[in-house]
Structure 1
Amino acid sequence: MAEPDQRLFFLLQQAAHRLRVAADRRCLAAAGITTAQLGALFAVREGGLTQRELAERLGQRESAVTAMVARLAEAGLVDRRPHPREHRAVVLRLTAAGEEALTRARPAIEEFNARLVAVLGEAGFRDTVEGVGKLARGEW
């Protein structure tokens, strides 16, 4: 059997996939959105983002975010307004329906986190959030 530290990358990939599938199921059932869309809605809620800025915030290619924003706009969860200074850019804004989707997703997110706390313990959960956050920000 491989040493645990030698398998960490593989285990992180496997865990991320399983967690994403489980979280997507919960978010879709609760609010009709995926976790990727949920992340985008949280970012847009902060206000004033262009699609390029949203792509940077999510760590995705702009083309992928363009397609996601189109789906979110079609669903009435975000709207696109002309940028006040950049004639080719648009500013994304969360709609009332988008805010409602976030509200509907909240219990699913809280239940999901509670299950993670049950597995990791309170301190382990906090340490994992801190550590994975650093990895996500490229701080390694």
Structure 2
Amino acid sequence: MRRFGERVVSGQRYRQRPGAYAVLVQGNRFLLTHQAEPKPEFQLPGGGIDPGEGPLTALNREVYEETGWSITGHRRLGAYRRFTYMPEYNIWAEKICHVYIARPALRLGPPTEAGHVAHWMSGGEALAALANSGDRHFLAKVLQNIG
């Protein structure tokens, strides 16, 4: 599985943390989330898969929490690994990021997760804004296929 992001810290123990994330496309616009903490950044909507939860259930929950939208038409694009410190949980994590493409279906309200704001962008704007190189990789793959 391809790895993106920070180098592995020698001697550091990492806890596996699976997650599900989505490239959300509607026409030629993409829906991202801006997370204010622990550092302000644009991300693909998504997050951790809770114990006993499947990836698609987690994806739907996380997208709703971070954007306020329900989604449909999920299709798996792939996965990548990322090693990082997560200050909000005080853990060193090996994130296994399962990435999907989906369509926003219905805006149910504002994001319910504190510190998140949904943003619509063009493909180029989204590619430039995403903080994570793994997120950018999967968005670029989608842009190649629709361009």
TM-score normalized with structure 2 length: 0.25
Higher relative contact order (CA 8 A, sep 6+): 2
Structure of greater Rg? 1
